[in-house]
Amino acid sequence: MGCLVDALAQAYEALGFPAATGRDEVFFQLVAARIIEPVSKLDSLQVLEEAGLAPVPYRTVTRRLRVFARVAWRQQISAACAAHARLGPASLVLYDVSTLYFETDQGDGFREPGFSKERRLEPQITIGLLTDQSGFPLTLSAFEGNRAETKTMLPVIRAFMAAYQLPDVTVVADAGMISDANMKAIEEAGLSFILGMKVPDVPYAVDAWRREHPGEEIPDGHVFTQPWPAGPKDKRRDQVTCYQYRADRARRTLHGIDEQVAKAAKAVAGLAPVKRNRFIALDGAVKSINRELEEKARTLDGIKGYKTNLAATPDGEPVTADFVISSYHELRRIEMVFTQLAKRAVRPLGGGREHVADLDLVAGDDHAVDEQFGEQPPLLEGCGGEPGPDGLAEALDPVGRGLEFEPLPGGGI
């Protein structure tokens, strides 16, 4: 696997990590080992040896972990990522969170039970990831497992902007990241944003269109634009909300509504137990189907909202609905990173508490490799492979295809 190591070393160099780490060989070996095959620290030495590297002694690895877990070290890595991404004023940054859980029954104040999409009860930590517009990671932060997702975004963004003296960035985030308090704090911080938003009520622009076009279906892809100018006493910028209708989204939404209403009808008729169902109305012991809510839900089918306070794009061009919506959809790129997280028990590489996530994540996506190194010099020149990013992806393929995270003794991966 000599060509693979050479390719990884060249990519590592292109990112500026050697300068950021003082050419620390132990750190490079840990990074390379985690990309080639994510195993324990001890087993990573064997992985490196099989790849053609002379691994450093295990005791050297354990001694250096304390250095790698320091805040200053992580800031150096983050600075190199920011420099590679060439961030400037009003650059788009994407933010999202995920969780990692631990096979232990007891929390320790940091690893604590909290909200889990997998409905797990084990202690976990919350991971906040900030990336550039292409999904290139900029900084990674770990929070208590029981901290609300909405309370993780602003600390990460503020710290990142302060560290790299960015006067403004445009935050792109999902509706789940935003609370009313969050929205107010974002405005007070003077940040630009593009946010997905929940649509609890029928927007005025949509309602007006339906009145003017009775009996007609909204064209697929149609966008309604609703300005929300700031008043003289408002401490915010002018905002615009774009509502887009998608026929495919409407089809899926209507299918879900039909299923829920059918279940509600069975529950009302006494043919099924009453479970959580938003279409069941309870008045004492009397059960009925909430037809008013059903009609409202059907009216909103296929509609999704996007809110922004941008006056111009990073290029200085006027903001359009297409720009807002397409920028929001870049969040799928951050998902490419999170899909690489093992949804199993984790043993932290850093050895403790708030540093558990900083050294234990690996992302290896061919498309991300292509985008980040598409303009770099040939990565596999002289190694018998195709030069360029496809060659690196080719070298990673034999290792990454079908790779599974296997549990290790003690609950690691």
Which of 279, 299, 319 is the last residue before a domain boundary?
Answer: 299
CA proximity to 204, closest of 305, 310, 348, 347? 305
> 359: which residues sit within 8 A by CB, 6+ positions away?
30, 65, 68, 69, 348, 349, 350
Tell me, what's the pLDDT at 203?
92
Torsion angle of the four alpha carbons 322, 325, 331, 332, in this order, in degrees rounded to the nearest 10: -80
Q: Are residues 32 and 160 in the same domain?
A: no
Does residue 230 lie in a domain region?
no
Which of 256, 271, 299 is the last residue before a domain boundary?
Answer: 299
Q: Are residues 306 and 375 in the same domain?
A: no
Does residue 242 lie in a domain region?
no
CA distance 291 to 281: 9
Tell me, what's the pLDDT at 339?
61
Residue 400 token pair? 């990454």
Does residue 231 lie in a domain region?
no
Does residue 210 lie in a domain region?
no
Does residue 412 lie in a domain region?
no
Q: Are residues 102 and 156 in the same domain?
A: yes
Tell me, what's the pLDDT at 353?
40
Which parts of the chain register pLDDT below 50?
Answer: 342-413
> 293: which residues sit within 8 A by CB, 6+ positions away?
278, 279, 281
Structural domains of the chain, count: 3
Does residue 75 lie in a domain region?
no
Does residue 237 lie in a domain region?
no
Tell me, what's the pLDDT at 37?
83
Q: Are residues 94 and 188 in the same domain?
A: yes
Tell me, what's the pLDDT at 135?
81
- Measure CA 363 to chain center: 12
Q: Are residues 164 and 256 in the same domain?
A: no
Tell me, what's the pLDDT at 384?
42
Q: Are residues 373 and 353 in the same domain?
A: no
Which of 340, 358, 376 is the last residue before a domain boundary?
Answer: 358
Domain that holds residue 268: 248-299
Q: Are residues 156 and 28 in the same domain?
A: no
One-character DSSP codes across 339-400: TTS-SS----SS-SGGGTTTTS-----HHHHHHHHTTSPPSSTTTTS-SSHHHHHHHHHHHH
Q: Are residues 133 and 188 in the same domain?
A: yes
Is the sign of the CA dihedral 83, 87, 88, 93 positive or negative?
Answer: negative
Tell me, what's the pLDDT at 40?
82
Residue 86 token pair? 């060439």
Q: Are residues 315 and 348 in the same domain?
A: yes
Q: Are residues 94 and 176 in the same domain?
A: yes
Tell me, what's the pLDDT at 1?
53
Q: Are residues 282 and 153 in the same domain?
A: no
Does residue 28 lie in a domain region?
yes
pLDDT tens track for 105-136 = 777 888 888 877 667 778 888 888 888 888 88
Q: Are residues 309 and 349 in the same domain?
A: yes
